[in-house]
Structure 1
Amino acid sequence: MTTEIDTQQTSLDWLKIAIALVFLAGGIAAFYYFDQYHLLIRVAMVLSGSIASIALVYFTTIGRSTWEFTQESWTEAQKVVWPGRQETIQATAGVLIMVILVAIGLWLLDMFLVFITRLLMGGG
Structure 2
Amino acid sequence: MSNQNVETVSSPADRIKVGLAIVVFVAGLAGFQVLSSSPLVVRLGVLIAGIVVALAIAWFSEPGRRLIAFAQDAQQETRKVVWPTRKETIQTTGAVFAFAVVMALFLWITDKSIEWVLYGLVLGWK
What range is the shorter-chain TM-score in?
Answer: 0.7 to 0.9
Q: Which secondary structure does the structure 2 equivalent of 1:81 belong to?
A: coil
Q: Aligned partners of 2:10, 2:110: CA distance in 1, in Å?
A: 63
- Count of residue correspondences: 118
Q: Which residue of 2 aligns with 1:66?
A: 67
Once the two structures are superposed, residues 64-103 of structure 1 have per-residue CA deviations (whole angstroms, 9 ceiling, x without a partner) of: 1111111111111111111111111111111110111011
Cα RMSD of the aligned pairs, angstroms, is 1.8
Matches within 5 A, 1:6-45: 10-45=11-46
Three-state SS of the structure 1 residue aligned to 2:77 is: helix
- Structure 1 stretches lacking a partner, 5+ long: 1-5
Looking at structure 1, the residues matched to 77 and 19 of structure 2 have their Cα atoms a distance apart, in angstroms, of 32
3-state SS of paired residue (1:101): helix
Moved more, 98-107 or 52-61: 52-61
Spell out structure 1 runs of 4+ moving beyond 4 A. Answer: none
What amino acid is aligned across from residue 27 of structure 2 in structure 1? Answer: G
Gaps of 5+ in 2: 1-6
TM score, norm. by length of structure 2: 0.85
- Quick check: 1:117 aligned with 2:81? no
Give distance in 2, aligned partners of 1:93 and 1:9.
Answer: 50
Contact 2:32 2:46 in 1 (8 A): yes
